[in-house]
Structure 1
Amino acid sequence: MAVGASAVAVSHGDAAVKHSWVSVPEGWVDVGAPPADYTIDLKIGLKQGGFEDLISVLHEISDPFHTKYGQHLSKREVEEFAAPHESTHAAVNGWLLANGVDISSVHYSQAKDWLALSVPVSTVEYMLSASYRTYQHGSTGEQVVRTLSYSLPRELHAHIDLVHPTTMFDRMKAMRATYMLDAALPATGTIEGSTVKGPAGQDIPLSCNTTVTPACLQALYRTAGYTPQAADKGNKIGVAGWSKYGRGLLPCPYYVNFADLQSFFTQFRPDAVGTNVTVVSVDGGLNDQSLPGVEADLDVQYTEGLTYPTPNYYYSTPGTAPTINDSVTPPQRDEPYLDWLSYILTLPDDELPQAFTTSYGGDEQTFPYEWAVRVCGMFAQLSARGSSVMFSSGDGGVGAGTCQTNDGTNRTIFQPVFPATCPYITGVGATYQIAPEKGVYFSQGGFSRYFERPVWQAAAVPPFLAKLGSTYAGLYYPAGRAVPDVSAQGYGFQVVVAGEVESVGGTSASSPTFASIVALLNDYRIANGRPSLGWLNPLLYTIGVSGFTDILLGNNPGCGTPGFNATEGWDAITGLGTPDFVKLKELFGSI
C-alpha cells in the first residue's frame, strides 16, 4: 500500500493486553521512573500480508524432492510477501493520528512491515496503556527502560504483531562455557601412537583429541585438500557479533582484533597470512582494536581458518547500552537481533552472504512469545533469499540455573535456547574428543515450547522420544521443535586473544565450525553453477542424514538431572551428528 493512504480512526478504548509479565523478570530490579522528557525509539511490527504464502514457498524451494528446490527468492520478492495489507496501514495510521503522532515523522522499512518513530515516554504510556520504568540487571549493571505490560485496541491486534521496546528484557549472552586452558575436559582412556583414526578411517593427530586447531577440524570433518573455487563468484560467509555493556557501563570486548587474526594465521594457517575479515558496522557498531574479544576472535579465526580464501564478513551491532545517555556514553541500543536482521534484509542480493553464524541466545521463555515468533519469521525471510543461518544451541545442558518457569508458577522445566529453537535456523550443539567423538556436557538441547515440531523432524525425533519413555515427563514439551539439529567440535579451540593463545570452549565454537563446512559446500555448488543451499533443515533431515557421523556417547546434565543421552539417530545433545564434508559434498553437489 501507499503509506499515505487514508487513515481509519481507531478508538483508544476497548484495549486488550498484548503481552505482560506476572513479575519483574529474574535478575532485574526496578530502579525508578525514567526522566519525564525521556524519548523512546519505538518500533512497530505490522502484520505481513503474505507471510503464510512466503513460508509455503520457502518449504518448496528448500525441499530437495521438490521441482522448485534451490529457486531462492530475490530481495524484492521477499519484500512483496512481507508487505502489509492496505487495511493494516490505514488502521495503524488512524491509531497514531489519534494519539497525536505526526505521520510524516514515521520511518518505514523497505517492505513497509516495520515502522519506527521517536515518541516521548508519556505518549507511549498512553498509547499502550503501559507504565515504563528503568530496570537494572543485578549482575551486569545494564539498564533498560521497559514496561511489564502493554495493550493495544482490540482492532489492532489483527494488524500489529508487536511493539518494541515494551516487555522484552534483553539478556542475550554469548554461548561460551569456558575459555580457560586448565578447564579443558580430559581425554578418557589411553591411546597409543601419534595419530588416531577418524570415523572415515582418516589419520588425525593425537593432539587433536584435546587441543583443537583448524588442521584438526579439516582432518576430522574431511575438508583437508579442498580448495575453495567460488571466492570470486560471490560466495561469502557472515558472522553476527554484538558489543554489550556491563557493570560500570564499560563495553564487553566482543571486537575482532586484526593483529590477533594475523598471529593466528601465522601459527595455524600460514597460507592465509595477510588476509583480513571485512568488518561491517550495523547501526553504529564498533570494532575497537584496543579491546580484543574472545568471542569475536574465536568466530573469525575459525571461519577464516576453515574457509580461506572465501570472503568473511563480521557484522558489529551494538547490544544493550545504558539507559541514560551522556557525552561519553553511546546511545541506548535495544534488542539487537531486530537491528541486525533489519539491516541484513536490506542488503542487495549480490551482497548477501550465503551462510551466517551467530553464537548468542537466551532461554526461550525470557522472550515474549509474539516477539520470538516475529523475529523467527525474519529469519525465514533471510532463509528464503538463499542464506543458511546457524546459531549455537546453548551451553546449559538441558538448562542452567534454577530452571524455573517465569509465569508465576515457578515450576521446574528444561530450558531450550532461542533463537536456536526457531525452525528456520540450524541449531548447532557441541562435541569433544575424536577417539571417539562425544557429546560434551554443556551442549544444550531439548524441545521448544513456542514452536511445534516441523514436518521435517517427523521421522528423526520420535525414535528418540520412544527410547526416553516417561523419563522427564512434564519437564519438556515432546511435540516441540527439537534442538540441536547438528553438532561439531566445541572444546579446546586454540584462539589468539590479545596476542596470547587461549583454549576456548562452548557451542560458540561449534556454530562457526559447522557454518564453515556449509560455506565450503556452497563454494562447491556455486563453482559448479548451482545455487547456494539456503535453508538447510529440510535437506539435512532427509538426504543429508547419511552425511553425518552419528555420535553415541555423552549427556547434557542440567536442572538437577543427568539430562539427555546421545544415542543412535537424532538426539537432544548432538542432533543428527557431526558433518563429513566429503559425503555431504557428494550428497548435495548435484541436487
Structure 2
Amino acid sequence: MPCLPLLLPLLLLALSALALPSPPRPPLLKERVLPPRTWHPLSRAPPAHTLRLRLALAQPRMQDLHSQLLERSDPAHPHYGRWMSKAEVEALAAPAPESVDAVEEWLAAAGVDLRGAERSPAGDALTLTLPVALAEALLSTEYHLFAHRTTGEHIVRTTEYSLPRSVHAHIRSVQPTTLFSRPRALRSPLHALQPTAFHALDQAAGALSEASSCKSLVTPACLQSLYATAGYAASANATALGITGYLEQYANAEDLQEFYRGYAESAVGSSFQTVLINGGQNTQTASAAGTEANLDTQYAGALTYPVPNTFYSTGGSPPFTPDDAESSNTNEPYADWLAYVLALDELPAVVSTSYGDDEQTVPESYAQTVCDQFAQLGARGVSVIFASGDFGVGPSASECYSNDGANRAMFIPNFPASCPFVTTVGATTSSGPEVAAGFSGGGFSNYFPQPSYQASAVASFLSTLGSEYTGLYNASGRAYPDVSAQGENFLIYVGGYPGSVDGTSCSAPTFASIITLLNDALVRAGKPTLGFLNPFLYGAGLAGLTDITSGSNAGCGTKGFQAGEGWDPVTGLGTPVFTTLRALAGA
C-alpha cells in the first residue's frame, strides 16, 4: 500500500486540474463562399467603417407557414382565399424564445448595446449598426474592401464567418458578410424615338389601340386590346398596386402626366403615392428621372386607373456615413423594403418588382431567408411578382460557371425570380401570335426544390427536352418563369422625351396590372383577392393563359430553352387573357 505522503501530491494535482476552467471552444464556421469572378479584394476594410448588420434568427414554425400558404392559395382547398392576419403570420414567423435569449446574451457579453437594435415585427431579425472592428470580433472574421472588375464599385465584405456554438443553431444568416449580389434593373437602356417616327405614331394614334400594333410599338391601349382588359372600368377603392424602386430610380411626375396625355387620357391629373424607405429619395428634376421607375409607374398607372398605385423608393439603410471604402450603402435592398412592408397593417394586394441578380451571388442561407419573407407577404394575401431576368439562361459563355470552386459549366438562374413563393414573369414580343422574347430569363433554381404546384407541368417539359443540356441545370429545382407578357418596344417618357425600352421589366408591371384588375373585380364581387398566384395559375387558372409555343432564350453560348406546348422555362404557362381569368376566378 503506497504511503500517504506519496498519494497526497497526486490528489492535490488532480483536484487543481478539476478547478481550472475549460479552454473556450472555438466558434463554428457558419458560411464560406468564393467571391464571384467579377469582384476582387483590394485591402482590409477600415476598422471604423460602419456596417448595418442584420441577424436573421431561426424560425422553427416556417414550414407551418409554408403549408398554410399553399392551402390558402389552392382553389381546391376549403381554406382557399382565407388570408392570414398580420398577427397570425408573425406568430408562425417568430423565433423560439430560447433563440432570442441566446443571441441577446451573446451580443451583450460582447459589448453590443442592444438599446439601439432594430427588431422586425415578428422578432425574426435583429439589425445592428456596428463598426467593422466589432463585427469582425463577433463573427471571427476579417472584412475586406472588394472592387468590381467592370464598374469599379467598392463594397466591404468577407468570404466566411463563424459563430459561437451557443448561438450557431439559433441564427439563419448574418449580412452583409458573404453577399456579393448587385441587384440590377431588368430592362434595356432607353432608345430615343426619332421625332419624325414619333410624329407618325401620333398621327396614327387610333391604330395604337389595336393588339396588332404591339408588333411595332407597345402602348397601354395595345396591351389592353391584346390582354382583353379594354372596356373594364376599375374602382378607386377596391384594391391597390405597389411598385418597388431601388438604386436611386426616381419616378417623375411630369413624365407621368406627359405619358397620360398621350396614352391614358382618362388618368390625366392622377398620380401614384410615393413612399420613402430607409433614406429613399423622390428627386423630381428631369435629369434624375429613372427609366425603370418611369416605365413601371407609367404602365401600372395607365393599365389600372383609377386603382391606387404606390411607388416605394428604397434607399440605403441609415445611418450611413460615406467614407473611403464605399460611396453609398451596399446592403442588399430587398431586405430593407421587406422590413418596412411586413410592419404595415395594410398591404397592397399586388407588388411588382423588376430587379434581380444571379442566384449564385446570393448566399443560400440569405436567399432562403428573403424567400420566406415573400412567403409571409403571400400568406397575408399579397401577389408578389418579379421579372424573370434579361439574359436568357445566362450571360456570356465565359461567365456561365459555378462559383463553388468546381468551376463547372452551368446555366445561371436569377434571384429572387427563383423563389417558389413569388410569381415570375418572362417576356414575349410581337402579336398574332406572340412569341418568346430572346432575352426572356428562365431556368431552374440551384437553391430551391421544385414546388408541388408546378411538378406536373415541369415534368411534361423535361420529358420533351430529354438529355439536352444535361448537367447545365438542376432538373429538380424550382422552375421559372411562371407566366409571361409583352417585353419589347415599350413607349415611355423620360426627362420630357419619348423613348422605348425592352426587358422583363416591361413584362412584370404589365402582368401585375392584369392581376390588379382581377383583384378589383373579385373584391367588388365580395370575394378575397388572389394572393399567392401560382397554385391558381398552374391549376384552375391555366385556361386563362395563352400558351406561347415559339422562340427561345439564348445564353451561356447556347440557343437556350425552346418555347413549346405547355409550360416552358422561356414564357412559363403563357400570357394572360383577362376576361377568361376573371371568369375562372369567379368574378
TM-score using structure 2 length: 0.90
What is the match of residue 237 of structure 1? Answer: 241
Corresponding residue SS for 2:514? helix
Tell me what 1:275 maps to: 270
Task: Provide the C-alpha distance between the structure 1 equivalents of 2:134 and 2:160, rounded to a whole number of angstroms.
Answer: 15
C-alpha distance in 1 between matches for 2:211 and 2:503: 22
Comparing 298-307 with 172-181, greater Cα deviation is found at 172-181
Partner of 2:42: 31
SS at match of 2:167: helix
* Counterpart-to-counterpart distance in 2, 1:176 and 1:322: 31
Alpha-carbon distance in structure 2 between the residues aligned to 1:142 and 1:347: 34
CA distance in 1, matches of 2:206, 2:251: 33
- Code of the aligned partner of 2:418: T
- Which amino acid counterpart does residue 245 of structure 2 have in structure 1? G
Question: Any idea what SS the aligned residue of 1:275 has?
Answer: coil
Decide which structure has greater helix share: 2
Query: How far off is 1:333 after superposition?
Result: 4.7
Q: Aligned runs of 1:83-482 on 2, under 5 Å?
A: 83-180=94-191, 204=210, 206-229=212-235, 231-233=236-238, 235-244=239-248, 254-290=249-285, 291-318=288-315, 325=322, 332-349=329-346, 352-401=347-396, 402-482=399-479
Q: Distance in 2 between matches of 1:11 and 1:336?
A: 41
**Equivalent in the alignment of 2:33:** 21
Deviation string 1:239-270 (CA, Å, 9 cap, x unpaired) is 011025xxxxxxxxx11000000000001011
Q: Is 1:568 the counterpart of 2:580 in the alignment?
A: no
- In structure 1, C-alpha distance between the alignment counterparts of 2:318 and 2:438, rounded to whole Å: 32
User: How many residue pairs get matched?
Assistant: 552
Q: Could you report, residue by residue, the CA deviation over 1:103-126 in whole angstroms, capped at 9, with x for unpaired residues?
A: 333332221111122223222112
Q: CA deviation at 1:330?
A: 7.7
> CA–CA distance in 2 between the matches of 1:255 and 1:374?
28
Q: Deviations over 1:536-576 (max 9, x none)?
A: 00111000111000001101111111101110000110000
Distance, in Å, in 1 between the alignment partners of 2:523 and 2:161 is 48
Aligned-partner residue type, residue 32 of structure 2: S
Deviations 1:57-88 (A, max 9, x none): 11111111111101101111111111111110
Q: Which amino acid aligns with 1:160?
A: I
Q: Residues 279 and 316 of structure 2 are in contact (CA less than 8 Å); yes or no, is this contact kept in structure 1?
A: no
Amino acid of the structure 2 residue aligned with 1:383: G
State how far apart, in whole Å, the 2-side matches of 1:87 and 1:12 are: 22
Q: Does 1:495 align with 2:492?
A: yes
Partner Cα separation in structure 1 for residue 317 and residue 473 of structure 2: 30
AA aligned to 2:131 is P
Write the distance in 2 (CA, Å) between the matches of 1:223 and 1:205.
11
Unmatched 5+ stretches in structure 1 = 1-9, 184-193, 197-202, 245-253
Taking the aligned partners of 1:127 and 1:61, their CA distance within structure 2 comes to 41
CA RMSD of aligned residues (A): 2.4
Question: Following the alignment from structure 2 to structure 1, what is the Cα–Cα distance between the partners of residues 579 and 585?
Answer: 10
> 1:443-484: CA deviations, max 9, x gaps?
010111101110001211111101100000000010111000
Corresponding residue for residue 249 of structure 1 = none
Identity %, equivalent residues: 49
Q: Could you list the per-position Cα deviations for residues 328-358 of structure 1 after superposition, in whole angstroms to 9, with x for gaps in the alignment?
A: x986251111000000101113xx1000100
> Larger deviation: 216-225 or 52-61?
52-61
Structure 2 letter corresponding to 1:92: V
**1:28 Cα deviation (Å)?**
1.7
1:64 aligns with 2:36: no
Output the amino acid matched with 2:99: T
Aligned residue in 1 for 2:511:
514
For 2:526, the aligned partner's letter is G
- Contact 2:212–2:222 under 8 Å retained in 1: no
- Give distance in 1, aligned partners of 2:24 and 2:154: 30
